[in-house]
Amino acid sequence: MLEEALQEINRGTAEIIDIERITKLLTAYFDEGKTYTVKAGFDPTAPDLHLGHTVLLQKLATFQKYGGRVQFLIGDFTATIGDPTGKSATRKVLTSEDIVKNIASYTTQAFKILDENKTDIVYNKDWLEPLGALGMLELASNLTVARMLERDDFSKRYASQTPIAVSEFMYPLLQGYDSVYLKSDIEIGGTDQKFNLLMGRQLQKAYGVKKQQAVLMMPILEGLDGVQKMSKSLGNYIGVTDEANDMFGKILSISDALMWRYFELLSTKSLLEIQVIKDGVVDGSLHPKKVKEELALEITARFHTQDLATKAKEEFEKVHAKSQIPTDMASFTFNETIWIAKALVECKISASTSQARRDIKQGAVKIDQIKVSDEQLQLQSGEYVLQMGKRKFAKVKVN
RNA sequence: GGUGAGAUAGUCAAGUGGCCAACGACGGCAGACUGUAAAUCUGCUCCCUAUGGGUUCGAAGGUUCGACUCCUUCUCUCACCA
């Protein structure tokens, strides 16, 4: 039992610090039913969760299965400072209204994966605001500049002469102080958080918390492009609220190399099963596309239903393999004859009429599956299916 | 506070009076090939019913027949020194 739990917890992790602590916590749970706390911090910056976030959430859910109580920490205070992100640019500061709005949608989405009864939502404003200037200075005295510059992100920026705001130096301290206040037993986060996570341990020690938190790091999930990390601002994400069809299509569009990454971090298949599939692809007995479809099915079903996932797959085949038109698409009605380029803009298929004309010129636009060559074409009354490229469709009715 | 450098399309980055809607790279979109993969090749990439017109090069003025290019002021950024 303990073995199994440890294995599941270990899965896909980038690094675990103080595994002994985790083992002890689990043992105490199995022997005496004692629970423990697992902290994870979330920035209420983007209101929508994507698969990148779910990597962490899934790990939290695993802990919940084995006696962990999740401290779902909303960084509403720290969000007003701005974290030194991987993008190495000083981040925009959010207004408190933005934050409140974001939190609401954030948590409801998170509970698609987390067990609500085993989760405490906490806000770091509650203890960081009362900390005051004195408390802040006291906190800051625990850290030297040299040590701060050890942080990879900072040292890179420092070396490349990119500016670092002093307030950004405070961020790891505050995040670490969260762990002091919450007396967290375990904290999990992305590998990019390593420095901050370790700061939690250091500060807990400095403030006399008896046992320091164990730290578990998950790798950063790459976005659809396979290079940048998945993030909404880069537009390379799969949102947990994406439509089943969308979700399926997006997963299928990732590269083969990236697919394995997604298997490891998102699939619930065991590592052994994944290895078998991998071998199958290597020796040619399995087609990579089939394998990717399996993955897409699994993930789509998790956020929707098995039924919807299967439908998404059928729909996908219909549209792409047999190049038929999709079952559902946005429809628009016009009351008079309309110029094709205008119609494309109105249906949000092309960004501007200039763009629409270019698209037509390049032979990307089809009406009822037939290529449009006349860019002056007027749509007379009737019903049409407009198509641009492989993915954009719209149903049009002209009265 | 002092000195110097700089601000050009989604990003990086050329352009120092007309040849500039502005080289190039990346990204993005589309076409071919495919498995809506990768790789490769090709085209497109400010707006406007367009062999034309309009609006762009941090902002506002000015010089000029003509300005991304020259002048003035302003805003912002960076570096070095204190």
Same-domain status, A182 and A289 = no
* Residues of chain A under the 70 pLDDT cut: 45-47, 79-95, 153, 156-167
Encoded tokens for A46: 């983007």
The residues pairing with A393 across neighbouring beta strands, listed in sequence order, are A387
Amino acid at A378: Q
Same-domain status, A295 and A337 = no
Last residue of a domain, one of A183, A218, A253: A218
Same-domain status, A88 and A177 = yes
Q: Which nucleotide is nearest to A376 (CA to C1')?
A: B49
Domain harbouring A176, CATH code? 3.40.50.620
Same-domain status, A308 and A357 = no
Count up the domains in chain A and report the number.
Answer: 3
Residue A232 CA to residue A224 CA, distance in Å, equals 11
Same-domain status, A196 and A264 = no
| CA–C1' A12–B73 (A) | 60
Q: Which nucleotide is nearest to A357 (CA to C1')?
A: B49
| CA–C1' A274–B33 (A) | 31
Encoded tokens for A256: 């083969």
Amino acid at A262: Y
Please check whether residue A326 lies inside any domain of the structure. Answer: no
**What are the backbone angles phi and psi of residue A14, rounded to the nearest 5°?**
-85, -40
Last residue of a domain, one of A293, A321, A349: A321
Buried-state track A6-33, b at ≥16 Cβ within 10 A, e below 16:
bebbeebbeebbbeebbeebbeebeeee
**CB of A165 within 8 A of CB of A140?**
no
Residue A367 CA to residue A377 CA, distance in Å, equals 11
Amino acid at A57: L
Domain harbouring A355, CATH code? 3.10.290.10
Q: Residue closest to B36, CA→C1'?
A: A253
Q: What is the pLDDT of residues A192-248, one digit of tens each?
A: 888 889 999 999 999 999 999 999 999 989 999 888 888 877 778 899 888 899 999
Please check whether residue A237 lies inside any domain of the structure. Answer: no
Same-domain status, A41 and A97 = yes
Please check whether residue A232 lies inside any domain of the structure. Answer: no
Same-domain status, A292 and A341 = no
| CA–C1' A270–B22 (A) | 56
pLDDT at residue A140, rounded to an integer? 85
User: A376: how many CB neighbours lie within 10 A of its CB?
Assistant: 9
User: A237: how many CB neighbours lie within 10 A of its CB?
Assistant: 23
Residue A257's domain comprises: 244-321
Please check whether residue A278 lies inside any domain of the structure. Answer: yes
Same-domain status, A309 and A340 = no
Same-domain status, A125 and A195 = yes
| CA–C1' A291–B23 (A) | 45
Same-domain status, A17 and A114 = yes
**CB of A10 within 8 A of CB of A62?**
no
Please check whether residue A223 lies inside any domain of the structure. Answer: no
| CA–C1' A358–B65 (A) | 36
Residue A249 CA to residue A122 CA, distance in Å, equals 36
Q: Which residues touch strand B (CB under 7 A)?
A: A 161, 163, 225, 249, 252-256, 288-289, 292, 316, 319-321, 339, 341-342, 345, 351-355, 357-359, 362-364, 376, 378, 388-392
Beta strands (DSSP E) in chain A are: 15-17, 36-42, 68-74, 119-123, 186-190, 214-218, 331-334, 338-339, 365-367, 370-371, 378-379, 382-388, 392-398
Residue A115 CA to residue A177 CA, distance in Å, equals 26
Q: Which nucleotide is nearest to A259 (CA to C1')?
A: B37
Positive or negative torsion for Cα A26, A69, A75, A225: positive
Please check whether residue A239 lies inside any domain of the structure. Answer: no
Residue A266 CA to residue A315 CA, distance in Å, equals 23
Please check whether residue A231 lies inside any domain of the structure. Answer: no
CA atoms within 13 A on the CB side of A299: 33
Last residue of a domain, one of A218, A236, A261: A218
Encoded tokens for A270: 């065991």
pLDDT at residue A301, rounded to an integer? 93
Q: Which nucleotide is nearest to A371 (CA to C1')?
A: B31
Strand B bases contacted by the protein (CB, 7 Å): 27-31, 35-38, 43-50, 77-80
Amino acid at A49: L
pLDDT at residue A6, rounded to an integer? 92
Same-domain status, A315 and A349 = no
Residue A367 CA to residue A325 CA, distance in Å, equals 11
Same-domain status, A165 and A56 = yes
Domain harbouring A288, CATH code? 1.10.240
Q: What is the pLDDT of residues A143-194, one digit of tens each?
A: 887 777 777 767 766 665 556 666 677 888 899 999 999 999 999 999 888 8
Q: What is the DSSP string of A332-383?
A: EEESS-EEHHHHHHHTTSSSSHHHHHHHHHTT-EEETTEE---TT-EE-SEE
Please check whether residue A238 lies inside any domain of the structure. Answer: no
